[in-house]
Amino acid sequence: MNPQPQNFRAPVGTHDVIGPDSAQWENLIALFAETAYRYGFELAISPLFEDVGVFNRGIGENSEVATKEMYVFEDRGGRTLALRPEGTASVVRAFVQHQPTTPWKAWYVTPAFRYERPQAGRYRQHHQIGVEVLGTDDPAVDVEVITMAWRFFAALGLTRYRLLINSMGHDECRGAYVKLLRDFLGAHASELCEDHQKVWSENPLRVLDCKKPACIDVTTGGPMLPDHICDDCRTHFSAVLGSLHDLGVEATLNPRLVRGFDYYTRTTFEFVADALDGAQNAIGGGGRYDKLAEQLGGKPTSGIGFGCGIERLLLTRAAESDRPLELLNRTLDCFVVDTTGVDSATVLLDELRSAGIAADRAYDNRSMKSQMKAADRSGARFAVLLGPQELAAGEVTIRDLRSEDFAQSQQTAPRNDVVTTISNLLTK
């Protein structure tokens, strides 16, 4: 018995990207790739799933993403794996495994999976573009990655975005700060929001990040990280802030910015877009993670990077401008209309495409009228008409589909010269 057909849909919190939207994605990714190469980054591709330990050790097994949102599964060999909830831990695992020469500068584009409550701008599968630099703690790198994202947003045509920045200190000074914060929160535990009354002591830093008024009220009077980092971390942070200022990258200090993963040290930052709804307005985030390589079994190696949500960047772009992103030429050069009845289009298209001309056709021996309609719909610049008459004369008719003047819009060309004729017309 045949199974009943089902009305399958993309799973909750996921979405298909198809035309015309996919052209926006293509443009955005191409622009990011070009930007990344300009800044000296090479592409890194690693598996979408890893041993769950990579993420538990990397982002922290008590982090919200690890405890509540990760897609964890056992494969047929009994290994416990997880779909990547973000890009950094895998890239650093790859760095530890392959030990490339440092500084290693990698960029990536990847889906990321988090079992979140879906809403506009928040998905269970989202997509990130990002970079990671491993092997140096020079503040110039902090400045470089932040500036790269900043300039990329401008190149995308965004105008209303802000950089929020903080320093998380390093292990020791943060450890001392967390103790201080824990003592402070302990004295005010009953005033915290309902959730944090129960869990504040597991990771007191999370309380700083809490958006509920009760937690904000309590922490407003409490100790803040930037006032408690050590001299080295302070010097590093001042150098970063100074250079950003010199480059005209406006940074706003946000002492509550602690980010959701445990790997962060020193510089941490987030980019927010004013065109997006407040709860989901982070278009990117990142920071240093000077202990992560070691936590994943490598030699001590400093690192820093950022990740940006493609969906949120495109939502921001759409909210700010009616013009689609048109950085790549994605229009057809010509459309072959073949009414010879003997499929003359196949050979002609092969010649055109091999010569670098973007060309398409209709199928199924459709009528001239129907093929001309398809040619118009395709957005192609020229129609190349090939009927029985042209076939007999060894010619084609080339029609400029953008011309208003029908008489002027048409010309014939010898069949053997089609590629040269179209190429010449395209450069006019």
Query: Which residues sit at the interface with ligand HAM, rule CB under 6 A?
Result: 86-88, 114, 116, 121-123, 126, 128, 130, 132, 260, 282-287, 305-309, 311-312
Residue with tokens 């300009």: 38
Fill in the DSSP letter of residue 415.
G
What tokens appear for 35 in the block? Answer: 């930007």
Whichever of 26 and 64 has its CB closer to ligand HAM, that residue is 64
Whichever of 142 and 338 has its CB closer to ligand HAM, that residue is 142
Whichever of 118 and 226 has its CB closer to ligand HAM, that residue is 118
Whichever of 169 and 307 has its CB closer to ligand HAM, that residue is 307
State in angstroms the smallest separation of the CB of 59 from ligand HAM: 8
State in angstroms the smallest separation of the CB of 283 from ligand HAM: 5
Residues 6+ apart with CB under 8 A from 423: 355, 357
Whichever of 87 and 204 has its CB closer to ligand HAM, that residue is 87
Partners of 109 in beta bridges:
129
Residues 6+ apart with CB under 8 A from 70: 52, 55, 82, 83, 85, 113, 114, 115
State in angstroms the smallest separation of the CB of 185 from ligand HAM: 24
State in angstroms the smallest separation of the CB of 71 from ligand HAM: 12
State in angstroms the smallest separation of the CB of 148 from ligand HAM: 12
Whichever of 126 and 174 has its CB closer to ligand HAM, that residue is 126
State in angstroms the smallest separation of the CB of 149 from ligand HAM: 10
Q: Which residue, among 57, 290, 287, has the nearest Cα to 165 in the 3D structure?
A: 287
Count of other CB atoms within 10 angstroms of residue 388: 12
Q: How far apart are CA 331 and CA 124, in angstroms?
A: 33
Which residue is nearest to ligand HAM, using beta carbons? 309
Q: Which residue, among 65, 252, 77, 237, has the nearest Cα to 167 in the 3D structure?
A: 237
Q: Which residue, among 356, 363, 339, 359, has the nearest Cα to 348 in the 3D structure?
A: 359
